[in-house]
Amino acid sequence: MVASGDRDPDVLELMGDKILGQVWKPTEDKFIFRILVKLSDAKRKTDQEVKIWTQEDVRKLLTLTLTKRMLLGFIMSQYDPMGLICLLLIILKINLRDLFGPEINLGWDDPISSELYDRWTRIISMFLQIGEIVISRAVRPEGVYDIPELIAFADGSLLAYACAIYIRWKKVKVDETDPDEYYVRLVCGKARVTPARGTTAPRSEVCGFLILTRLLKVVLNSMDTKPSDVTIAIDSQCTISATEKSGGLLAPYFASRISEAMSNLSEIADETFVHPIQHVPGGQNPADIPTRDTTTPDEVREDSVWQAGPHYLKLDRNMWPFSRDFIDILPEQELRRPKALFNLAVMNEWECLLGKRLSQLVVSVMHRSNSYVKTVHVTARLLKAQFDQDRSKIQEALTVRQSVFFWGSGEANSQTSSL
């Protein structure tokens, strides 16, 4: 067993330089990220050693033929299980998306276009010059109180959606008159590329919120000491509005994701206190960083906003730029269609013909369906059972001709209106 700060060379040699696939320096208690650039056109894994490109090889990129197979292999060789450098790796995935799609006629070993080639050579050159990224492994320093709190952020764009979870510890005071001080570190993050089609900014933001709640469950279950409370902050007013709505008002895309997210938060609330979802200005949301393809290596260093959290998290809670003031708005396409009411033109004649009870039953069916055709078929079965004085006739499917017969000139005598 190797402990943080261990300096015994024999023990360190037995352990090697990795733990669970991640490079770790126990003496300094630091994670080391090395983004290895491997550009191979091999169709399958072989025993042949793949060349690792270095900063001295930048000029060779000008004569290298880049293919989809080569770039995908480069991206899949990266390892970041905690999402600590996901804001850099998402750049690769965002640009990889442009190599796929029905309108892209590009084989696995075909050279990419000149426009894409220029873009990829700039990206690879940047990664070759990054060097090592050193990040502290421990998220709890010495001299803090035992119970922390979690602050979680989420965001989304047309390029990607992401989330980040921070842990905040209150430092032990040397003197009671000293002001409160806090230590904040990134626990983990996650970023995913949005689909190339069918994505809107509100949908991407909802997806960011969903993966945040999933990640929160994982983090909470892994903590021996549960946090005192959990705070969630997002800059999407649509997402916050959706969490305040009944599931019956939301269209399927929003409804399914909001339902799962709220279920996750309910499970989290069984373990600790969860504050109402807060709104944070977009410029002060750290989860906004991985949703762009313009991130620089400096934004992932140990003292960056991404790793150390926004500066305001080191202040008292009443000084945070969070609020519950948001515009209650949702895109029309994310709301369920209003139900259509099929109103009877001459209600008195229907009641005389069918009787009040059956007439009310027919109207009830009309209120429950958005489909005119379905309503005609269902109510026609009721009418047939009534005219035949046989309740079992309700179970018999009717033809279009029979439905029209029992409805008479239903289309001419009915009108539709919306709620």
- What is the average per-residue pLDDT within 83-99? 93
Give the burial string for 62-76 (b: 16+ CB within 10 Å, else e): eeeebbbbbbebbee
Per-residue confidence (pLDDT) for residue 243, from 0 to 100: 92
Angle between helices 114-128 and 86-96 (to 10 degrees): 160
Please report, for residues 149, 150, 161, 397, the alpha-carbon distance to residue 187 in angstroms, rounded to integers and kept in the order given.
12, 9, 18, 59
Which DSSP symbol is given to 409? S
Per-residue confidence (pLDDT) for residue 279, from 0 to 100: 95
- Which residues does residue 151 pair with via DSSP β-bridges, in sequence order? 166, 231
The residue with greater pLDDT, 214 or 98, is: 214
Per-residue confidence (pLDDT) for residue 15, from 0 to 100: 72
Per-residue confidence (pLDDT) for residue 406, from 0 to 100: 56
Top-level class of domain 150-332: alpha beta
Residue 254, CA atoms < 13 Å, CB-side half-sphere = 26
Which DSSP symbol is given to 171? B
Residue 385, CA atoms < 13 Å, CB-side half-sphere = 17
The residue with greater pLDDT, 346 or 179, is: 179
Does position 415 have pLDDT exceeding 50, yes or no?
Answer: no
The residue with greater pLDDT, 130 or 378, is: 130
Quick one: which H or E segment has residue 256?
helix 252-269
Does position 323 have pLDDT exceeding 70, yes or no?
Answer: yes
Model confidence, pTM: 0.79
pLDDT digits (tens, 9 = 90+) for 122-165: 999 999 888 889 999 889 989 999 999 999 999 999 999 999 99
Label residue 418 by pLDDT band (50, 70, 90): very low
The residue with greater pLDDT, 156 or 173, is: 156
- Which residues does residue 183 pair with via DSSP β-bridges, in sequence order? 169
In the chain, domain spans: 35-130, 150-332, 340-418
E strands present in 51-145:
52-53, 132-136
